Amino acid sequence: MEMQQALESEKFTLRELTAAINNVTVPKNRLAELKLFEEKGISTTSVEIEYKDGQIQLVQDVPRGDDGEPLDDPDRKLVTFKALHLPVPASIFADEIQNSRAFGEEDELESLQDVIDEKAEIIRQSIDMTIEYFRFGAIFGKVYNKKGVVVLDLFKVFELKETDGENTIDFNDDLPTQMLDVKRDSEKHLKGPKAKAHRVFCRPEFFNEMLKNESFYKAFDRYNNGEALREDVRRGVSWQGAFWEEYDEKFGDKDPMPAKYGAVMVPEGKPGLFLTRFAPANYNETVNTKGLPYYVKSKAKDFDKGVDMEGQSNPMNLCTSPLAVRRIKFTPKTEPAGA
């Protein structure tokens, strides 16, 4: 009975739990830290992208059931992207509350709050990691789920060749000009205003090759009297009009960077290029409301043996110009014979 009374209190409604999980402070993943993807809640479960002559625009979302504006130009193509549904179930058993109750205290409300907060933090971190994994998928043009199934192929959707978004760096040839060519290829596919900057995520092997390159070394030797070379520069360095940083994170057993690439160059500060949209949860209370990044709902277990919880997020992560992202293969420098 005490458990049921606690759950019926204002603190454990869908509104309160959802507000709490959206305010939890947790360590951010790299793409989230950079705010590369523009986040917005939508009231529908899908968004439409208008594609014509290499230009891709986001079509304004409308409430479910409303008509959108018709497209008069027959050459335009409208592509619909649906949000992915990420439910995360969790359970709290009565014994967890019993065992965490302070000695001599009978009130379960505070103990239940502590356990729910702990579960909510785990749920949010799991969702954050998944969204980060999906965002890297969008950067590389193919979003994979946990089972390795492609749930979104941007090259196929926009009828593009994956190889048109690739560059190859040969560390046996002049490096600066090759780096500039990669940036030029990125800029060529950016319609409208140019990006404010470019960032490159590099595998350790690729970053090592850069550090061994003479022109790269000399550039940094001149920079601040060589201070950058005396420090650990893997966290990032500016060179040839881009910011280069080492990236070697894994999500469980998942590598967010396809093995065939050594690095990837992404434009930064280009509105509408990288999008994250959050659809509403599939609860009665949230239909046709603006989507939030996270939701949490709870209910008592049968016979009041504890609490069942569900956290969820319904994101879609898109790159609206896949060829503006340059996926880089590389050829290592060949050491001279006898070296």
pLDDT score at 159: 87
| Rounded average pLDDT over 69-96 | 78
* Domain 2-150+275-316 architecture: Super Roll (3.15)
pLDDT score at 103: 45
The per-residue DSSP string of 112-127 comes to HHHHHHHHHHHHHHHH
Residue 140 has pLDDT above 50, yes or no: yes
> Can you tell me the distance from the alpha carbon of 38 to that of 32, in angstroms, rounded to the nearest whole number?
10
Q: What angle do CA 131, 135, 136 make, to 5 degrees?
A: 120
The per-residue DSSP string of 250-282 comes to -BTTB-SS-TT-SEEEEEES-TTSEEEEEPPPS
Lowest-pLDDT range, 82-86, 91-95, 161-165, 184-188? 91-95
Residue 41 has pLDDT above 70, yes or no: yes
Domain with CATH 3.15.30 in the chain: 2-150+275-316
> Can you tell me the distance from the alpha carbon of 48 to that of 296, in angstroms, rounded to the nearest whole number?
27
pLDDT score at 314: 96
Q: Tens digit of pLDDT for each residue in 234-248?
A: 567 888 889 999 999
Q: What angle do CA 198, 201, 205 make, to 5 degrees?
A: 135
| Rounded average pLDDT over 183-200 | 91
User: β-strand 306-313 against 86-93: which pairing, if any?
Assistant: antiparallel
**Beta-ladder partners of 296:** 311
pLDDT score at 204: 94
> Can you tell me the distance from the alpha carbon of 153 to that of 162, in angstroms, rounded to the nearest whole number?
10
Lowest-pLDDT range, 61-70, 72-81, 84-93, 285-294? 61-70
pLDDT band at 198 (very low <50, low <70, confident <90, very high): very high
pLDDT band at 332 (very low <50, low <70, confident <90, very high): very high
The per-residue DSSP string of 122-177 comes to HHHHHHHHHHHHHHHHHHHTEEE-TTS-EEEEHHHHTT--GGGGEEEEETTS-HHH
pLDDT score at 76: 66
Q: Does domain 162-272+323-331 have CATH number 3.30.1930.10?
A: yes
| Rounded average pLDDT over 222-232 | 57
28: which 2 tokens?
Answer: 């951010």
pLDDT score at 252: 84
71: which 2 tokens?
Answer: 């497209």
Torsion sign, CA atoms 132, 134, 135, 140: positive
Average pLDDT of the chain is 83
Higher pLDDT, 217 or 33: 33
For the chain, what's the residue count?
339
Domain with CATH 3.30.1930.10 in the chain: 162-272+323-331
